Every structure is written in structure tokens, then in C-alpha cells.
Structure 1
Amino acid sequence: MANYTAADIKALRERTGAGMLDVKKALDEADGDTQKALEIIRVKGLKGVTKREGRSTAEGIIVARAENNVGYMVEVNSETDFVAKSAPFVEFGNKVLDAAVAADAADLESLLATEVDGKTVSELVTETGALLGEKVVVRRVARVAGDHVAVYLHKTSKDLPAQVGVLLAVSGADAEAAAHDVAVHIAAMSPTFLSEEDVPAETVENEKRVAEETARNEGKPDKIIPNIVQGRLKGYYKDVVLVDQDFAKDSKKSVGQVLSEAGATATAFARFRVGA
């Protein structure tokens, strides 16, 4: 019988994120040699890459940071929350973020092609999936630049790494405190657009059409329908436009008002939620 302990199994599981049965089999095959077992897990993982291609990756991590007034954020996905919270997976997520910062990556294609220690991020994805025994995906990357960039990461569960991330760029000399509060607001309220001008024209026209048809179906008089349409369009903006939303910490004010009072202007933002 191979010479290893329960502590050896636990340590190898934490190091690889692999299942208990896989770890025990690897240790048995390696006669208790941890390094050999680690290599066995990796090799078997590489052989299973094709089998994992069609699997769902709904779990994962959001990592982000800002440097020199530029913020970067990356979503990396796994199949299970067990792997998502494992040390190797979290380390891999941070390595991908480092690559995004070093390459000033603003799109996924350039990030995946970035080299880290002689290998592309794409190759590291394959290797990490092999080690962890699950499909691993770098799903998306965001880059936001401005006079000041606030970064906010939110844990939806205390047992998991951050599942929601926000980058917010603002202008204004004393905007940092307000930027943080608005970044927290974005995490909670998930706006789609920064301003009304950012809403596509076809989306606006569709909202107007729906509002008008609804008003007519409700039997509203023709003369008041334009006002109803504008009112409902304003309501739509309050739902999806950041600066029009009621501020989460004080619903008597809009986000735009809060920023204005702080002498700040929001110029760009990005929000990621794992799997969304």
C-alpha cells in the first residue's frame, strides 16, 4: 500500500483543486510521492481536454486592479465552485490579470495571445484545466481609463472569491470617495449604459413604440399619449442608465447628482458578474 496520509491528500487537493478520488488514485500510482502524483494529475488532465470542451463553466472569479489611471478586469471561469475557490485557480486568475496589465489588453483576443514566461495565456488556460481536471475559460477582459479609476470587487458568498467586479473612471480633483461609492452602487444596481446618449437609437425607438402601443391598448386619450411615452421612457432610463439611477445609498438623489455634488463626472465603467 502506498505510503501517504490524509494530510497528504488534503495538501494535494488544495494544490491542484482535483477531486479526492483522483488525488488518491494519483498518490497510489505514485507510491505516495507527491511530486509524481502532481505530474500524474496534470498528464491525465491534458488527456481529458477534449472531453471537457463541451462542459459548462458557470463558476469562476473576477479579478481587477488599477494602475496609472487605467483599470483592468478579467473574468475566469471554471465548472465548479470547489475549483473556483481553490488556491491554484485564484493564482491563475491573478496571473491572467497580470498579463492583461502588462500587455495593456483591451480585448480577449490580445489577452489570450499575450505571453507569460514563454507561453501564451491561451496555452496556460489549457495547462491549468489539465491540472485542475475541469474546463477553464478566460471569458472576457475590460480596460477603463480616466483621471481616476475606482475598483470594486464583491463577494456574493464568503466562501468564494469575488463574483462581481466594477471599474469606474471619473474626472474631478476630489472624486475618489464618490467614485468608490458609485462603484459599489454599480455592483448592486447593474446599469447598462453610462448616459442617455449611450443608449442605442433603435433601443430608444423600440421603448417608445412599446410605450405608445401599451398606452393605446389601455385606452388612453391620444392627446396625452406623447406625455405618457416620455414618462415611460424616463422610467426606462432610470432603470438602465447609471447617472439617472436612484443612488443606492440615498434614493432621494440620482447618481448624477451625487457625482456632481462631489465635483466629479463619470466617464466610463465596466461591470462583470461571473456567468452573467
Structure 2
Amino acid sequence: MEITAQMVKELRERSGAGMMECKKALVANDGNVEVAMEWLRKQGLAKADKKAGRVAAEGRIVTAQNDDAAVLVEVNCETDFVAKDSNFLTYSDKVAEIALASGAVDVDALKAADYGNGSSVEDEAKTLIAKIGENIQVRRMVRVANAGITGAYIHGGRIGVVVSLKGGSEELAKGIAMHVAAMNPAYITPEHVPAEVLEKEKEIALAQMTDKDKAKPAEIQEKMISGKLRKLANEQSLTGQAYVLDTNTSVGDVLKKEGAEVVSVARLAVGEGIEKAEEDFAAEVMKQAGLA
């Protein structure tokens, strides 16, 4: 069967594969576009499996929410360039919607969820790997139940926060989410700071006391140490920090003024905990040129 330019063009548009690959697929499958599409997909998935082990530390944080809950999802790729690619953007946005609608509570359930075309979220990632040429991974997700009012904030696609409040307003919820994105508090309130953390800080504070401080009465020393621990607990907790949108007041005071309480907080940042390989480009060029 004659393979026409129109057939190649149609297969290219549907598959995203190169012109020569499309022509080869059509020749191998007697010009049947549907079978050629499946053939290309199988070839692509084989390539995708090889790329799945490569470090993917770039990408996006995406969110979706409804009246019941909100989700944050981290979808990774290898380069910032691909993180801005329209195919990657479309995929990651849809994954967030699937995470919300499917009721998935962890990333394994999300990967297994139906993408809507007969394949799973994970299989669709493999198809995208074949098309884009980079490793694509749905790495993390978190679901936050709506306690009354939920606010979400995405900063530059790289940091995402969801906050659920009891009381308050949508404006306040978004403001708190912006604060968490900027300040990344470890705990919600000073009372949530674990006792073992405070005990360790107390040991450090005692070790750092000067001879002059040690000469002071025990009760004075205890007040000094207690003051340092209170300051530390405030610095590490959401309600104890100065509010980024009004540094003259604390987050706790803002919440109190509006009669609101933070019930839950989730924050994801692209590439957290992923060890990126340090590339020596000069050495790589020399290696490619056979000089090293």
C-alpha cells in the first residue's frame, strides 16, 4: 500500500513521533493508521522504560479543589524547559483533576487511576515520556479535607500550599497559604512543637551559656532558657510567626481577629529531597570528543 504524506502527517499529529518513525510504523503495518499508532506506542513505551530511571527533579506543583477537599500533586520532569512544555502542562493539570475526582489519598492510587482514555495515569506518563523524551513522574500527592474554608496557593508552579480553616474567609485562607509558601513553618502552633525538639534545643542553649550567665541565680537561668525556647517555638510554628502580609502582627493574632482556626496545612515544593546529579559539562564534552 502506498504511504502518503497525508497519512504520515496524520500519524505525526496523533502520536507526536518523528516523521521517519511514523513512516516506518505505517510501512510496517500496511498503512493502517490505528495499528501504526499502537505500534508506535509500544515502541515508545519500551523507550520510556529506559528513561524512567533518570533523575527527574524539575516539574510542577498543581492543585485542584471542590467543596469537599483539595489536592496538591507534584509531577516531575528532568528539565525546566519541559516543565513549561504544553504537553506536560496539560498532563499535570489533568492529573490534579483526576486526583481530586478519583478520591485517591496517595500517589500509588493516583498512578493507578483511569486517565480517561482507557489507560492509567502512570501509563499516560509513559506515553508522554516517549513523546517528549524525558522522564516524567507523578511523585507525590496530598489530599486535605475541607474543614469549612479551603485556600490554595501556587507560587511560580514550584511551591504549592493548601490550607483548611474552621471559620474565617476565603481571602484569609489564601493569605495563610501564601504565608506558608513563603515561610514554610514546621508546625501549626507552638504547642505542636515536639517535646524532644525543645529538650534538644534546651541542651544546646545550656551549652552556649557564658560564664557570666552561669553565675546568675538558677531561676534567672531558667527564665533565660524558657525565653529562648518560646522564641524558637514561635519561629517554627505558623501561628507564632509574623504574618507576611502584615509583619506588624502574628498569624495567630490575625486568625484570632477573624475567629478562625487552622485545621490542616499541606505544602509541596518541586524536587524536595531529590538529590540532583552535579554535571561536569567540560568533562562530558571531552568524553564525547574522545579526549577523556
TM-score normalised over the length of structure 1: 0.79
1:228-247 to 2 correspondences below 5 Å:
228-247=224-243
Partner of 2:126: 126
Deviation at 1:114, TM superposition (A): 2.0
Aligned partner of 2:265 among 249, 266, 269: 269
How far apart in 2 are the matches of 1:235 and 1:90?
42
Q: 1:164·1:271 contact (CA, 8 Å) conserved in 2?
A: yes
Aligned partner of 1:211 among 202, 205, 209: 205
Residue 165 in 1 paired to residue 166 in 2?
no
Structure 1 residues 82 and 43: alpha-carbon distance in aligned structure 2, compared to 1, 3 A threshold: farther
How far apart in 2 are the matches of 1:132 and 1:207?
49
1:78-117 to 2 correspondences below 5 Å:
78-117=77-116
1:4-153 to 2 correspondences below 5 Å:
26-30=18-22, 45-117=44-116, 118-145=118-145, 146-153=147-154
How far apart in 1 are the matches of 2:177 and 2:161?
6
Deviation at 1:30, TM superposition (A): 3.8
Aligned partner of 1:185 among 179, 186, 199: 179
Deviation at 1:3, TM superposition (A): 7.5
How far apart in 2 are the matches of 1:139 and 1:198?
28
Aligned partner of 1:257 among 253, 268, 275: 253
Partner of 1:194: 188
Q: 1:152·1:166 contact (CA, 8 Å) conserved in 2?
A: yes
Deviation at 1:40, TM superposition (A): 8.5
Q: 1:45·1:133 contact (CA, 8 Å) conserved in 2?
A: no
How far apart in 2 are the matches of 1:262 and 1:45?
54
Partner of 1:159: none
Deviations 1:248-271 (A, max 9, x none): 122221101011112211111111
Structure 1 residues 38 and 235: alpha-carbon distance in aligned structure 2, compared to 1, 3 A threshold: farther
Structure 1 vs Structure 2 CA RMSD: 3.0
Structure 1 residues 42 and 228: alpha-carbon distance in aligned structure 2, compared to 1, 3 A threshold: farther
State which structure, 1 or 2, has the greater radius of gyration over its C-alpha atoms.
2
Identity %: 33
How far apart in 1 are the matches of 2:206 and 2:46?
58
Deviation at 1:42, TM superposition (A): 5.1
Count residues with an aligned counterpart: 252
Q: 2:78·2:136 contact (CA, 8 Å) conserved in 1?
A: yes
Q: Which amino acid aligns with 1:76?
A: V
Deviation at 1:204, TM superposition (A): 2.4
Unaligned runs of 5+ in 1: 17-22, 156-161
Q: Which amino acid aligns with 2:19?
A: L
Q: Which amino acid aligns with 1:204?
A: L
Secondary structure of the corresponding residue to residue 213 of structure 2: coil
Unaligned runs of 5+ in 2: 26-32, 273-292
Q: Which amino acid aligns with 1:175?
A: S
Structure 1 residues 211 and 92: alpha-carbon distance in aligned structure 2, compared to 1, 3 A threshold: same
Partner of 1:220: 213
